[in-house]
């Protein structure tokens, strides 16, 4: 009897799986047929699929129901990344176009004027809005997804993490981690993958600063789970066991369970000896216990710790990787920054300073420009989404309530009207740069500017200093293809380099 039931279940599962395959095949076939019809009947396509009214943004609605989701996902899964989807349409329609992705209307803009309008948001007509799949992965209580009022409350509570005192302590911790990590790079042939190493350092640094989480099996598991969450952010939101989205959701559950356990211990006073950001939040909550509106719930704390780990690890590690690649391709820039950093290294030796300080970072004018130029060219966060709260007009076009409007940071960063010779890596462009408002969007702008911008810059400067004063290096794979399905722009190769240690006695003359 039991065997019959098992065989019946297996047969039913196979039949269900076969039916799903047939349905998927039919959908793909119907899409291909519709694409062919559109190609053969251009007049009909223009009349039914593309915006032609003067007061509506130009663009294509794509196929019924799914719009241009297939093309969007195809771009994400290509070596050119998300920006290829935008660039193709910008060439066709200009710096503003309308499309349909995942059943929602999206309008993309690429001008500094509109960036100011949306990101500054004086009118209150817009709020931050990421794809629904991203909200499910980072959590509804995350800064990324919070409503305007809720965002102000959470941001106010998190601000203490980014004070000058906190930043100074973080710089010392990150420098120590960087020195330790780089110490054995010249072992086993002296070949390392920059992205892989940068992800390790930034993850450890964020976990130590946020919750004194440093080593052990739980840390390794969380690092893997955070990576799975990141991989799922732009995945098709299907909750099926074999999909990246499902695996990302399961990883999130495990992270939340770990964070819940840590928070419970902190609130009970059993693990209150750590002076980290989590302890600050828990302590502040006790002091504000009489005012429920000021307290953060455990869910809010968990969602935002995950958000800060992702933001602090993934984006910064990606930017560090691009920076190393750009420097290797521009010898004059590398030579100039090397002179500055070796001079600083000599000063640190003479004063017997073991670790870099905030003051040391402030004495890196050229390196700071290298960091800024790397962030401009990499455009790790390629676009900034907003939800329209009421009907309005932008650039002469009527924009409806409920639409998604997006600022394409990369398009602005590579606009020749904003930056002279934008494809050239030239840190000196910022020497006497009279910046156009809202022309540098590496960290966003306005009320939702990235809280950790100074921390990210600090990590890049510390890493740059230690790399330049410890090794000479050569990039092994110069391919500029981006990693498929990545939320943030990351090098597919990870930037593998071969390093040669600089002898201490040669640092001065290296």
Model confidence pLDDT, tens digit, residues 327-372? 999 999 999 999 999 999 998 888 888 899 999 999 999 999 999 9
Matching residue, tokens 């300080």: 357
pLDDT per residue as tens digits for the range 28-59: 555 555 544 444 444 333 434 455 556 889 99
Q: What's the CA gap between 140 and 142, in Å, rounded?
A: 6
DSSP H stretches of helix in 183-272? 194-211, 217-232, 244-268
At a CB cut-off of 8 Å and minimum separation 6, what does 375 contact?
319, 440, 442
**In this predicted structure, what is the pLDDT of residue 170?**
93
**In this predicted structure, what is the pLDDT of residue 272?**
61
CATH number for the segment(s) 148-379+414-506: 1.10.630.10
Please check whether residue 138 is in contact with residue 128, taking contact to mean a CB–CB distance below 8 angstroms. no
Which residues does the chain have with pLDDT short of 50? 1-16, 18-19, 22-23, 35-49, 510
* Domain boundaries, given as residue ranges, for the chain: 148-379+414-506
At a CB cut-off of 8 Å and minimum separation 6, what does 141 contact?
150, 154, 297, 299, 300, 302, 303, 304
Q: What is the phi/psi pair of residue 423, to 5°?
A: -85, -5
Question: What rounded mean pLDDT belongs to the chain?
Answer: 85
- 3-class secondary structure, 316: helix
Choose among 483, 475, 491: nearest CA to 191.
475
Kindly report the three-state secondary structure assignment for every residue of 55-97: CCCCEECCECCCECHHHHHHHHCCCCCHHHHHHHHHHHHCCEE
H or E segment at 337?
helix 331-350
Extract the tokens encoding 278.
Answer: 């989590």
For the chain, the 3-state helix, strand and coil shares in percent, each to the nearest 5, are: 60, 10, 30
What sign for the dihedral angle of Cα 57, 63, 65, 67? negative
Please check whether residue 361 is in contact with residue 94, taking contact to mean a CB–CB distance below 8 angstroms. no
Kindly report the three-state secondary structure assignment for every residue of 92-153: HHCCEEEEEECCEEEEEECCHHHHHHHHHCCCCCEEECCCHHHHHHHCCCCCCCCCHHHHHH
**In this predicted structure, what is the pLDDT of residue 44?**
38
List residues bridging with 60 in a β-sheet: 50
Question: 90 labelled as ligand-binding?
Answer: no
**In this predicted structure, what is the pLDDT of residue 294?**
66
What sign for the dihedral angle of Cα 240, 22, 78, 404? negative
Q: What is the widest separation between alpha-carbon atoms in the chain?
A: 83
């Amino acid at each position: 009897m039991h065997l019959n039931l098992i065989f019946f279940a297996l047969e039913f599962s196979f039949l269900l799986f076969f039916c799903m395959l047939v349905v998927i095949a039919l959908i793909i076939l119907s899409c291909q047929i519709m694409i062919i019809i559109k190609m053969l009947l251009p007049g009909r396509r223009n009349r039914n699929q593309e915006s032609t009214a003067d007061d509506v943004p130009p663009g294509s609605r794509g196929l019924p129901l799914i719009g241009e989701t297939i093309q969007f996902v195809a771009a994400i899964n290509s070596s050119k990344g998300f920006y290829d989807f935008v660039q193709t349409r910008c060439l066709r329609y200009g710096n503003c176009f309308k499309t349909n992705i995942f059943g929602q209307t999206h309008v993309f803009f690429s001008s500094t004027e509109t960036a100011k309008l949306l990101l500054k948001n004086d009118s209150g007509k817009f709020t931050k809005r990421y794809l629904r799949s991203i909200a499910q992965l980072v959590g509804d209580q995350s800064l990324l997804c919070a409503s305007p009022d809720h965002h102000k409350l959470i941001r106010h509570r998190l601000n203490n993490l980014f004070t000058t005192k906190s930043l100074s302590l973080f710089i010392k911790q990150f420098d120590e981690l960087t020195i330790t990590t780089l110490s054995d790079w010249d072992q086993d042939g002296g070949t390392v993958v920059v992205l892989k190493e940068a992800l390790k350092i930034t993850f450890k640094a964020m976990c130590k600063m946020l919750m004194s989480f440093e080593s052990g099996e739980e840390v390794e598991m969380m690092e893997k789970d955070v990576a799975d969450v990141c991989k799922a952010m732009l995945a098709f939101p299907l909750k099926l066991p074999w999909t990246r989205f499902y695996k990302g959701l399961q990883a999130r559950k495990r992270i939340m369970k770990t964070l819940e356990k840590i928070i419970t211990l902190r609130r009970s006073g059993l693990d209150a000896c750590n002076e980290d950001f989590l302890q600050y939040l828990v302590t502040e909550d006790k002091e504000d216990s009489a005012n429920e509106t000021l307290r953060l719930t455990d869910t809010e704390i968990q969602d935002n710790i995950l958000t800060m780990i992702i933001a602090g690890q993934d984006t910064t590690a990606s930017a560090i990787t691009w920076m190393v690649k750009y420097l290797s391709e521009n010898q004059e820039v590398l030579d100039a920054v090397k002179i500055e950093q070796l001079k600083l290294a000599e000063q640190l030796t003479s004063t017997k300073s073991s670790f870099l300080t905030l003051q040391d970072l402030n004495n890196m004018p050229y390196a700071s420009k290298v960091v800024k130029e790397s962030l401009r060219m990499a455009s790790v966060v390629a676009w900034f989404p907003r939800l329209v709260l009421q009907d309005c007009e932008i650039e002469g076009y009527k924009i409806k309530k409920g639409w998604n409007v997006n600022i394409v940071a990369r398009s602005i960063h590579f606009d020749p009207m904003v930056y002279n010779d934008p494809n050239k890596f030239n840190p000196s462009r910022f020497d006497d740069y009279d910046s156009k408002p809202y022309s540098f969007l590496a960290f966003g702008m306005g009320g939702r500017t990235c809280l950790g911008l100074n921390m990210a810059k600090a990590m890049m400067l510390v890493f740059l200093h230690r790399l330049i004063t410890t090794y000479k290096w050569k990039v092994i794979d110069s391919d500029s293809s981006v990693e498929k399905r990545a939320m943030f722009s990351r090098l597919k190769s990870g930037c593998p380099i071969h390093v040669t240690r600089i002898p201490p006695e040669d640092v001065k003359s290296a």
